[in-house]
Amino acid sequence: MTDDTPTKTMNMIQAINSALDICMERDKDIVVLGEDVGYFGGVFKATEHLQKKHGKTRVFDTPITECGIIGVAVGMCTYGLRPVPEIQFADYIYPALDQLVSEAARLRYRSAGEYTAPMTVRSPFGGGIFGGQTHSQSPEAIFTHVAGLKTVIPSNPYDAKGLLIAAIEDNDPVIFFEPKRIYNGPFDGHYGKPVTPWAKHPSSAVPEGYYRIPLGKAATVREGNDVTILCYGTMVHVTAGVVAESGIDAEIIDLRTLVPLDIEAIEASVKKTGRCVIVHEATRTSGFGAELSALVQERCFHSLEAPIERVTGWDTPYPHSLEWAYFPGPVRLGQALKRVMES
Amino acid sequence: MDEDARRNMRPLSLHVPEPRFRPGDAVDFADFDIPDVAAAPRPDIGAMPEEMRSLAYGLVRVLDLDGASGGAWAPRLSPERLVAMLRHMALVRAFDDRMYRVQRQGKTSFYMKCTGEEATSIAAAYALDRDDMCFPSYRQQGLLIARDWSLVDMMCQIYSNRGDRLKGRQMPIMYSAKEASFFSISGNLATQMPQAVGFAMASASRGDTRIAACWCGEGSTAEGDFHSACTFASVYRAPVIINVINNQWAISSFSGFAGAESTTFAARAVGYGIAGLRVDGNDALAVYAATEWAAERARNNFGPTLIEHFTYRAEGHSTSDDPTKYRSAEERSAWPLGDPIARLKQHLIAIGAWDEERHAAMDREVAEEVKAAGKEAEKQGVLGDGLHQPFTTMFEDVFEELPWHLEEQSRQMVEERKAAGI
């Protein structure tokens, strides 16, 4: 799926920007809309230069109404466009829930395919930036629970571009959550250390042209035999850091797409290792980890040598000053790995 | 303020709206102000919204109550076209009557009539082009019927039978008919309003000439989506017609609970900087004229129009509703703006294009047409006489392609049923 164009070092923002630019170039039906995405180029600069290049009728600012942004996008789909709306922070996606859950997700089903909603909703999500309660949330489980939506979460620039292109070209509505903590560089959870820029990470070598990474396919970040760690987004890097320090031969799987899930990769890995740890930033109860845990238990029961561990955010709203006690960082993951290896 | 000062103040009181007439009350609309047909000026289609404030508070009327037509809004429609419009309205009413009966007979689970509101969809459809995209609520079956959509197809949807294109997935009356530019109906109120604006924005951004129209009840204007729709329509000057069917009732809540005690629904337009028209919704010619005006305005890039259709929901909210529990049974007959079919009929008779005999013949014809369609649809099954779609179709169309987990669930269902011997 890779092209032959030269690669360029990109951070995640640049990779996302490149994906949008390329898709808009290739398909005149693609439009980008959202709060501050036009002239200003987005509060995270993900849509920078797009309006100038593709014009105001294809990249435009919207009123501050999430329900309106998604509602209008559904109508644009009905006309035949392929909108890529942005919700400024995932924490602010809730006013749009009715349009996403009751409309976009069900349109194909309820009209037996007469109408569809081929839209990709981009939204920065996740914590680790002192964003407090309403700039840190990870609401993916709300969307994975909705029949008819696909949920995608990249963890590096290369994947971000390839997955976003695939999401935009997908004919189903896709929720594309971008972990904003790692927009500028990977983050291993050691918050005291200076940020490493993406330039030093191999996944920052991004082809300048078109390529896609299929939805529904996980990536094995590290092969190992002792334990399978299922993670996505920022937690991929936290996990990689902890595993490197611990000396445990863990297999790290970056799920990349939560729905549809790459169940084959998960099953093969857990059957090989016999142990499983699930890591996500979102709160624990009814989080996506619960679904993963249930699937592993149902499918790999006879291979399991230890209870499945979940390392997640606590069941509290995301706190401000207590961020690093909340964030499922290296200490907590290290303890969980120890527990699962010793039992 | 100190405690003593507070003690001397009159206590606050909460105002909870109350309709004028409850079950058993005598109904008297004597104080109901019906503006003269000459009262409403017809502005240029490019008029600025602030120049037409009075239209948002008045009532655009063409037919007076004795069947004469007049005023600035009187449209130029041939008698033939008026008769066709009348016939479509009668057809909707006959369709409703039959579908209501079949629900009572247990042939379907649910139905909703639009009795008394036929003009708001039929006359509107006459003023739109067939490919103008309609985003209806559940009470605009008249749009489909005015576009000569197959009654059999509609009934098959209501019966969830073998002929149901929606494969039994939707509750009755939640039609979808892309060929008729009729958007898939959702149970979630007002969601179609911003969607219509989005369609209109898309059409405009493509330099197309199609416009969009959407409908919601006055109760649904309280939803946030209504506000989003008006804001977007105003900001982008979207070529859209936002129709509010003010039929006075949202199930058991009278229009006061949507804000009608303080203002009109057309007046909402004023705050958004949208052209607002308040129209006699039981006057087919006024509905036609207002819609035609709004469509011309939209097509000429002058932006959106909000039309309040002032009408009365003559029947219960749905087959699950009993209106005698919350409103006076006299309201319907006392309604000062009458019945839309009776008024258009009277007008046609007044201009010499119609008579009682022809009307009676038409009523027989539409009843026959509906009956024949009903027989045809029932051949393909009714709800309850077995399942009409293969079980596995339940899992289709959730996504474009069947993902592994749905494939697994589909297989599991088949196996479980087989194991249970069903």
User: Which residues form the domain of B114?
Assistant: 32-322+330-378
Residues in chain A with CB shorter than 8 Å from the CB of B204 are 57
Query: Is A109 in contact with A148 (CB distance < 8 Å)?
Result: yes
Q: What is the pLDDT of residue A2?
A: 54
Residue B156 and residue B55 in one domain: yes
Residue B216 and residue B256 in one domain: yes
Q: Estimate the crossing angle of helix A263-273 against helix A288-300, to 10 degrees.
A: 60
Residue B273 and residue B213 in one domain: yes
Residue B140 and residue B261 in one domain: yes
Distance CA A194, CA A209 (A): 32
Distances (CA, A) of B211 to A33, A77, A125, B278, B309: 21, 15, 36, 21, 20
Q: What is the pLDDT of residue B2?
A: 79
Whether B403 has a pLDDT exceeding 70, the answer reads: yes
Could you tell me what percentage of chain B is helix, strand and coil, using 3-state DSSP and rounding each to the nearest 5? 45, 10, 45
Pairing of the two strands B253-254 and B249-250? antiparallel
Is A95 at the interface with chain B, CB within 8 A?
Answer: yes
**Does B8 reside within a domain?**
no
Partner residue facing A72 (CB), from B174, B204, B232: B232
Tell me the pLDDT tens digit for each residue of B189-216: 999 999 999 999 999 999 999 999 999 9
**Does B275 reside within a domain?**
yes
Measured between CA atoms, how close is B258 to chain A, in angstroms?
20
CA geometry: angle A84, A89, A95, nearest 5 deg: 80
Structure tokens at A314: 């606590």
Task: Return all residues near B374 (Cβ < 8 A) that are at least 6 apart.
Answer: B98, B102, B155
What residues of B are labeled active site? 313, 317, 326
Contact at CB, A98 and B186, closer than 8 angstroms: no
| Tens-binned pLDDT, residue by residue, of chain A (343 aa) | 556 789 999 999 999 999 999 999 999 999 999 999 999 999 999 999 999 999 999 999 999 999 999 999 999 999 999 999 999 999 999 999 999 999 999 999 999 999 999 999 999 999 999 999 999 999 999 999 999 999 999 999 999 999 999 999 999 999 999 999 999 999 999 999 988 999 999 999 999 999 999 999 999 999 999 999 999 999 999 999 999 999 999 999 999 999 999 999 999 999 999 999 999 999 999 999 999 999 999 999 999 999 999 999 999 999 999 999 999 999 999 999 999 999 8
User: What domains can you pick out in chain A, each with its CATH number?
Assistant: 7-207 (3.40.50.970), 219-342 (3.40.50.920)
Q: What is the pLDDT of residue B385?
A: 82
**Does B27 reside within a domain?**
no
Q: What is the pLDDT of residue B264?
A: 98
**Does B279 reside within a domain?**
yes
**Does B20 reside within a domain?**
no
Q: What is the mean pLDDT of residues B289-301?
A: 98
Query: Is A231 in contact with A255 (CB distance < 8 Å)?
Result: yes
**Does B317 reside within a domain?**
yes
Residue B397 and residue B371 in one domain: no
Residues in chain A with CB shorter than 8 Å from the CB of B198 are 71-79, 83
Is A25 at the interface with chain B, CB within 8 A?
Answer: no
Residue B408 and residue B354 in one domain: no
Contact at CB, A72 and B198, closer than 8 angstroms: yes
Size of interface A-B (CB pairs under 8 A): 148
Q: What is the mean pLDDT of residues B7-35?
A: 95
When the pLDDT of each residue in chain B is averaged and rounded to a whole number, the result is: 97
Residue B337 and residue B416 in one domain: no
**Does B68 reside within a domain?**
yes
Q: Which of A54, A135, A237, A280 is catalytic?
A: A135
Q: What is the CATH number of the domain that holds B295?
A: 3.40.50.970
Residue B338 and residue B410 in one domain: no
Other C-beta atoms lying within 10 Å of the C-beta of residue B145: 23
Query: Is A263 in contact with A276 (CB distance < 8 Å)?
Result: no
Residue B300 and residue B154 in one domain: yes
Which residues, numbered 239 to 298 in chain A, qualify as contacts with chain B under a Cβ-Cβ cut-off of 8 Å? 259-261, 263
Contact at CB, A79 and B206, closer than 8 angstroms: yes
Task: Count helices and strands (H / E) in chain B.
Answer: 14, 7
- What pTM was computed for the model? 0.97
Q: What is the pLDDT of residue A5?
A: 84
User: For residue A265, what are the β-bridge partners?
Assistant: none
Indicate the number of domains in chain B: 2
Residue B237 and residue B300 in one domain: yes
Whether this model's ipTM surpasses 0.90 comes out as yes
**Does B383 reside within a domain?**
no
- As a whole number of Å, the end-to-end CA separation of chain B is 75
Q: What is the pLDDT of residue B8?
A: 87
Tell me the pLDDT tens digit for each residue of A2-57: 567 899 999 999 999 999 999 999 999 999 999 999 999 999 999 999 999 999 99
Distances (CA, A) of A326 to A234, A284, A330, B302: 15, 12, 12, 53
Interface test with B, best of A29, A110, A172, A261 (most B CBs within 10 A): A110
Distance CA A286, CA A173 (A): 23
Interface test with B, best of A60, A79, A152 (most B CBs within 10 A): A79
Residue B316 and residue B395 in one domain: no
Residues in chain A with CB shorter than 8 Å from the CB of B273 are none
Residues in chain A with CB shorter than 8 Å from the CB of B157 are none
Interface test with A, best of B399, B401, B407 (most A CBs within 10 A): B399
Q: What is the mean pLDDT of residues B397-401?
A: 98
Residue type, B198: G
Q: What is the pLDDT of residue A3?
A: 61
Residue B259 and residue B362 in one domain: yes
Q: What is the pLDDT of residue B422?
A: 84
Task: Return all residues near A103 (Cβ < 8 A) that are at least 6 apart.
Answer: A70, A71, A74, A117, B186, B188, B191, B195
